[in-house]
């Protein structure tokens, strides 16, 4: 069954004619723009693509929000990923306007906790960048959840995540090739620095390793993509992403696998060499005495961040203080999630931030593992990675919540279709049961 397995076409002859005319006009407009105003051609071409997809099936437009996370190029005050997410959020809300998102409400409340507790500081820090970033963060969490849920409920989870992992594999190949050809140094690919590459590949590795049954990938494909993304992270030398990926993989590996009820044992052998690599790299950098390497520089930034936080411990000094200069400190964004939150929105915001992650992990832990394990692993991986790197970065701060929303949406899709996944009984050293294949009952999975 292909990824584009359920494209919805216009049914009436009049609708078909209208769609054909609209696509033809969009094509002509793209051609004329390319000839007369080439600088605007990419925007017009993107608009034509969106129009074409919307005429076939509106949910396909939402799928584009997934590959759009790779677009970090600025479009005015926002990145391309931000623009795509804002547009997808509006479309997803229109698709869900009749209801159906009740199952997502607990997770939305978890996100709303953070957004609500960070609102009071807007009064104390009334400047434009602060308000814009507050709205931005609300969309990164709540909007991403809604977009992911709409994708999953529409039956587009497999398509969306497959596209993402395929792109990650291509990036991994490019990172490995670049590393080999430049003497195994840190990798930079165009607009992506090594930690951006690592973050993308971390998500791809966890998705591929989890490989939930509703993705319908073979184990060979899942493990091959996981290995490729892992090698890509090693080539890029993104240590924090390696640590985050290890945590995500451990969560998946320690929970019973759906197809055989067993827990992965070999994952412990994978943990040792990678943990040793990360540890030795950090120790080596600290031992050099070079205050400008990444490890030493982070220690300096930690101290400066605490100084900024003490200026307003309860409410913080406002979002994006590192570009406004009103604190006397600028030029760096705190490379730690909690310090970033403390400096921007204070202790009150940190309570909301930790509450949001704690509630999300609790909800996903209690969820049916067929749907909850991937979301739990992704959230935990990103949280751990954020202990050593920037957190509120558009693409990386939205993707985890999109995946969580997809997990909820797929479960709702299966419920509406009457699909039931029956896992293999849990296997332990003292309990071995014969293999029970997974079953789908009542209806066909689409």
* Cα distance between residue 445 and residue 333, in whole Å: 45
Q: Could you tell me the pTM of the whole model? A: 0.83
Tokens linked to 27: 């094509």
Higher-scoring residue by pLDDT: 192, 21? 192
Mean pLDDT of the chain: 80
Interval 255-278: pLDDT, tens: 766 554 455 556 666 666 666 666
- pLDDT at res. 39: 52
Interval 63-99: pLDDT, tens: 888 998 888 876 666 777 888 898 889 888 888 875 6
Three-class secondary structure of residue 412 per DSSP:
helix
Interval 90-119: pLDDT, tens: 888 888 875 667 889 999 999 999 999 999
Interval 25-41: pLDDT, tens: 545 655 655 555 555 55
**Over residues 411-440, mean pLDDT:** 61
**Residues of the chain with pLDDT > 70: what percent?**
71
| Residues 374/212, Cβ–Cβ less than 8 Å | yes
Interval 122-141: pLDDT, tens: 999 999 999 999 999 999 99
- pLDDT at res. 429: 38
| Residues 270/249, Cβ–Cβ less than 8 Å | yes
Residue 190 falls in which region: left (phi positive, over 0), alpha (psi -120 to 50) or beta = left
The confidence band for 365, taking pLDDT boundaries of 50, 70 and 90, is: very high
- pLDDT at res. 287: 56
In eight-state DSSP terms, residue 30 is H
Q: Which of 37-41, 160-164, 196-200 has the lowest mean pLDDT?
A: 37-41
Higher-scoring residue by pLDDT: 351, 96? 351
Alpha helical stretches, state H, 57-120: 58-63, 80-95, 105-117
- pLDDT at res. 54: 56
**Over residues 309-320, mean pLDDT:** 93
**Over residues 319-339, mean pLDDT:** 88
Radius of gyration of the chain (CA): 23
The confidence band for 344, taking pLDDT boundaries of 50, 70 and 90, is: very high
Tokens linked to 384: 């751990």
Instruction: Give how far the C-alpha of residue 243 lies from the chain's centroid of Cα atoms, to the nearest Å.
Output: 16
Distances (CA, A) of 175 to 172, 184, 350: 5, 10, 35
């Amino acid at each position: 069954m292909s990824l584009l397995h359920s494209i919805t076409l216009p049914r009436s002859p009049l609708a078909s004619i209208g769609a054909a005319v609209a696509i033809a006009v969009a094509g002509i407009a793209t051609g004329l723009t390319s000839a007369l105003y080439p600088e605007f051609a990419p925007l017009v071409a993107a608009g034509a693509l969106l129009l074409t997809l919307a005429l076939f099936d509106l949910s396909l437009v939402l799928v584009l929000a997934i590959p759009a996370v790779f677009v970090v190029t600025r479009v005015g005050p926002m990145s391309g990923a931000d623009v795509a997410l804002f547009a997808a959020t509006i479309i997803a809300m229109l698709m869900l306007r009749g209801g159906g998102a009740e199952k997502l409400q607990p997770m939305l409340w978890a996100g709303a906790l953070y957004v609500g507790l960070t609102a009071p500081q807007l009064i104390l820090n009334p400047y434009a960048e602060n308000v814009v970033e507050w709205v931005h963060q609300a969309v990164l969490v709540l909007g991403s959840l809604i977009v992911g849920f709409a994708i999953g409920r529409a039956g587009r989870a497999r398509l969306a995540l497959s596209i993402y992992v395929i792109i990650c594999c291509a990036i991994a190949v490019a990172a490995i090739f670049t590393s080999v050809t430049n003497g195994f140094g840190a990798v930079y690919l165009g607009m992506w620095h090594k930690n951006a590459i690592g973050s993308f590949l971390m998500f791809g590795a966890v998705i591929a390793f989890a490989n939930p049954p509703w993705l319908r990938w073979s184990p060979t494909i899942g493990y091959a993509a996981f290995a490729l993304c892992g090698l890509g992270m090693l080539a890029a030398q993104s240590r924090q992403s390696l640590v985050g990926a290890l945590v995500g993989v451990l969560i998946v590996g320690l929970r019973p696998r759906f197809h055989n009820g067993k827990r992965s044992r070999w994952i412990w052998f994978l943990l040792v060499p990678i943990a040793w690599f990360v540890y030795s790299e950090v120790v080596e950098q600290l031992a050099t005495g070079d205050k400008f390497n990444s490890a030493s520089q982070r220690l300096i930034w930690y101290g400066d961040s605490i100084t900024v936080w003490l200026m307003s411990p309860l409410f913080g000094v406002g979002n994006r203080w590192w570009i406004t200069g009103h604190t006397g400190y600028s030029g760096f964004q705190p490379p730690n999630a909690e310090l970033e939150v403390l400096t921007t929105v204070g202790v009150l915001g940190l309570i909301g931030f930790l509450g949001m992650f704690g509630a999300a992990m609790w909800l996903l832990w209690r969820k049916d593992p067929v749907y909850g394990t991937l979301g739990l692993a992704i959230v935990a991986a990103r949280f751990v990675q954020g202990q050593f790197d920037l957190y509120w970065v558009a693409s990386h701060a939205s993707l985890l919540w999109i995946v969580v929303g997809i997990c909820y949406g797929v479960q709702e899709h299966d419920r509406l279709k009457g699909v039931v996944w029956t896992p293999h009984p849990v296997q332990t050293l003292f309990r071995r049961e014969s293999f029970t294949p997974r079953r789908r009952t009542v209806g066909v999975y689409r």
